[in-house]
Each structure stands twice: as structure tokens, then as C-alpha cells.
Structure 1
Amino acid sequence: MLAATSVSAEPPVTDWRVLVPGEYHGDEAPARPGPGWLALVPVGGVWRLEPAIVRATRVHDPVLDAEGDRTGIALTSNRSDTLVLLRLPDLQPGKVDTPALKFSGGARLISLGEAPLKLQFRSDEYVIEGRKAGIEVRTGGMRVVLPDLAAARPDSEDAASLLWAGDLDRDGRLDLLFSYSGYNRGGVCLYLSSGAPAGVPVRLAGCHGGVGC
């Protein structure tokens, strides 16, 4: 099962901005997801944000539950091809422009000391590089180090990978979706360009992840 980051147990529905379908401990996902969710899905060779119905079903938690108890939560979407579920005021349904991603296998690991990942989007080049303090993102004269994410290194189980990139908020700049992992944990974090401080390319919009069972 997976656990949410940066949220408390049984938060108000409005606190959940990013969700990943899967099974969770009871305090790691909303028991009542509510309406207004958008699924990031591939459709006919392009990416789209599509309205989605998110359901939370109580299930047996093999770690915490006694026999017959059902305190775990299974999150599902009516879109089986969902990469991530989002509910943020800057996002609207429709086609999402993306750069040409020159890596395969679903994600690109960002490692300390390795050559940076470069993405061309419209007239801008984005560079993503592993640093000791986190993952650095820079484009033009803007840069930021994302301390919530750790670059992969031989002496640590913590790591982060670029999972997806595209203009979710339609402001002409890239938004980034990273997956992260560590000892008995994993999840995703979304970074949006809209609302970022001056000189900063992206800001943390929300995370959802979890601890293993």
C-alpha cells in the first residue's frame, strides 16, 4: 500500500489535490474523494486531462487489520489508463501539449553525477539534473532545486524519476510530474509553473505516495 505525503489523516476533501490509484492504509487516502477530478490519460497518441469519477472502497489492510476488518482504502478511477488524478484550480479538461520525451520505460531516473536530462518545449530548453540538495530544474534565467526529491546515488535508497512533462496549466511553460521512491515507500509529486515565484520555473502543487505493506 502507499501513503500520502504532506497531508494529515482523514483531511478535508479539499486538501487532496493529487491522487494515484491503488491500495492505501486508511489514513493515507481520502475515504470520500468527492467530485471535480481530472485524469491525465493518453488518448490517440496525445495526452489529455479528462473528467474522472474517483471511488474509494474500504478493503482489508493486511498489515494493520485483524481478520474481518476493512480499514484500508482502494482508490479507483473510471479511466483505467489514468497516470495520475488531479484536482487543482489551474487545470481544465482538454488536450495537453507535451515535449518530445527521448526516454522510454515509463520514467527517466535522475542520478547524482550523471549527465542532465534536457527537454525542448517550444522555444525553451529545460534541464533537469541531480544535485546533493535535490533535483535541479532550470530554463532560461530561471532555476530551482526541488528538495522534496532526491537524486539517485549508490549510498541511498532514495531516488526520483521524471515520470511525465507537459503544459497542464496551459501557460506556455512545462509542468513536471516526478515519481519518488525510498525504503518501503514511493509515490508522485506534481510541480506546476503557474503560481511559481519570480525566477522559479515550477512550484510544488501536491504529492501522493505511500509506505509499503
Structure 2
Amino acid sequence: MPALPLRPPSRPASRRPVVARAFAQAACITALALAGGASSGADINDPTRGDVVLFPVPFETLRPATAGKPALEGWNMPGRNFRAGDGWWGLVCGTATNCRLVALRLAITPAKHDVYETDPVPSQWLVWSPLPAVGELHAVFKPVRSLAGLPLAAGPVKTWLQRGMAGPYPDAGRIATMEVAITVAPGTTALLVPRLRPAIKRDAGSGQPEALVLELRAGQQRQLLEDFENDSPEALSPVDPKAYLVWAGDLDGDGKLDLLLDTGSCSRKLTLWLSSRAKGPEMVGLAGSFEYFDPARSEC
């Protein structure tokens, strides 16, 4: 299906889906706290999935700056899911394609996290160090399980595009399609194409609603990657290429395209797609994801 320009919302987005999500997550976290066993139910609140544990940036301010002490930044994450230690990496970029990997260590402090209209629950302060003094940190991650042997090293990482570079991303020359063109080699270009997926109706009211999805194209190949988060039942909003494409480069060292994507809206969302995880006709496979809605909030 060709990419289509999107109409702006005709009325303010409804907040009801967001409030419902907040209540559902709050109930889930509260149930875990009442059970008294973070280890047995820890995965309930773990926002990470896959064999790359992934966190987006910017971080939260956990403790404001005071005289003689800088602000402490990281994530305050409900539950007891994570362990301190080495093996973490940060993706740091300048204002062009000069990106690099830096080795990080995770420190953890037990804490509490507020929950909307109920009592705070046990949480962890996650703080990574040493944070880079130069450049913009795009994500922190740790390969685990089947990807624990991913060949990573501190230093430059092949990058074609990243959101911190000056100016807009290259496009495919089609107006109002919100596409991104990624030239991975002379004469070889991959496209990221936001497009409308029509609603599918089945018997008994089942099916799937109309959605804005992100598709990867290269030559005759097509691969549907993921849906854009949309909390408005009335209309689909346009998307900014520099919002959804965080980074495009070669992280796993096979010379092929890897992607770091953000298709969230109200929730914090980040996904890492690696060419080395592709199966069959796929160009990339999902290596890790992060999706989290702050339970202290009731709406966007």
C-alpha cells in the first residue's frame, strides 16, 4: 500500500484510554507490592523485553542539584527487576554521523515510586556512570542471553543517520509522507515509511482498527516493523521523522542496517532492530524493547 499523507486531528484527543492505562498499571504494581515478593512477580513491572535490555534517554531527575553536588539522573523504576553491575553500553552522538559506544556501569538504590491515587510502591533508582561529558546520549542498553556475545567495543560505531544531526533527514522526494531515506551504500537506499493500515472487520465485532504503522522498504522487500502509539480514537496524527528514527547504523558489525526507533506518544517507548536477528525474508529482527507509562500520571 502506498504511503499516505495523514490528516491532523479534528478535535482534542480523548484522555480516557490514557487514564485507563494508568489505573491498570497502578493496580498491577499495587498487587505486586501487596504480594510482598518482588522476585516472584518482578517481570510484571519490567518494561523491557528481548535479549537487549534497553532504556531511553533523557533520564528522570532523581535528586535535584544542591550546593557542591550535581543533579542525580536515571530511572526510578517500580519493582525489583534489575541488578547493579557492568556490561552496559551508551550510544552517544555528536551533531553529524559521529556516534560512538561508551562502556557504563549500573548502580541501584532501593526507593519508592508514587502511584496515581494510591500508595507508593517499592522501586529502584537506576543510575548509569560514567556519563559522557561530550555528545548526546541516545540510549543505554545491555545485551543478555542469546545476544550476550554481541561484538561491541568502546569507540566509533557506523552511523548513517541520528536524530542529533543538523537539519532534517533525507526523504524520498514525496511530499507529506514523513518518510526517511537511508543510503547504506552507493546506489542502495532503505526507506522508513509511515503508512495507514486500513481497519479490518471480522465477525462478532472482532478485527483490528485503522492504525499508523512503520514499514521498512529496500528494493522490492517490505517489512512491517511496528505501530505508532495513538491515544485518539478520532484521528491519526502526523509524525516527525526525527521523533521516530532515533538512530540508523550498524551496531552488530555485519555491515547491514540496524535501527533504534521511538513510536511512543503518551508512554515512553524504544525499540532496537538488528539485521543479525532477521529471520526468513525479514531485513531486521527485534532485539530489545522498552515501553513504560509512569503510574504516577493519570493522562498525557
Q: Could you state the TM-score of these two structures normalised by the residue count of structure 2?
A: 0.55
Task: Tell me: higher relative CO, structure 1 or 2? Use CA pairs within 8 A at least 6 residues apart.
Answer: 2
TM alignment of 1:134-213, pairs within 5 A: 134-150=213-229, 155-156=235-236, 161-183=244-266, 185-212=267-294, 213=296
Given the superposition, is the C-alpha separation of residues 102 and 18 from structure 1 closer, same or farther in structure 2, using an over 3 Å criterion?
closer
Equivalent of 1:26 in 78, 95, 105: 78
* Per-residue deviation, 1:101: 5.3
- CA-to-aligned-CA distance 1:148-201 (integer Å, 9 cap, x gap): 545899724796711111111111111111113234x12211111112023321
1:125, 1:172 → 2: CA distance?
14
**Which consecutive residues of structure 1, in runs of 5 or more, have no partner in the other structure?**
none
Q: Show the counterpart of 1:84.
A: 139
1:106, 1:192 → 2: CA distance?
26
Judge conservation of contact 1:132–1:151 (CA < 8 Å) in 2.
no
Given the superposition, is the C-alpha separation of residues 180 and 72 from structure 1 closer, same or farther in structure 2, using an over 3 Å criterion?
farther
Greater C-alpha Rg: 2
Secondary structure, counterpart of 1:147 in structure 2 = strand
* Per-residue deviation, 1:50: 2.0
Tell me if 1:122 matches 2:158: no
Q: CA RMSD in A?
A: 3.9
2:179, 2:282 → 1: CA distance?
18
AA matched with 2:156: K
2:282, 2:250 → 1: CA distance?
16
Q: How many residues are treated as equivalent by the alignment? A: 201
* Per-residue deviation, 1:126: 1.1
1:210, 1:106 → 2: CA distance?
30
Given the superposition, is the C-alpha separation of residues 15 and 165 from structure 1 closer, same or farther in structure 2, using an over 3 Å criterion?
closer
Give aligned-pair identity as a percent. Answer: 24
Q: Show the counterpart of 2:44.
A: 9
AA matched with 2:252: D
Q: Could you state the TM-score of these two structures normalised by the residue count of structure 1?
A: 0.74
Judge conservation of contact 1:57–1:75 (CA < 8 Å) in 2.
yes
Which structure shows the higher helix fraction?
2
Judge conservation of contact 1:52–1:79 (CA < 8 Å) in 2.
yes
Judge conservation of contact 2:245–2:262 (CA < 8 Å) in 1.
yes
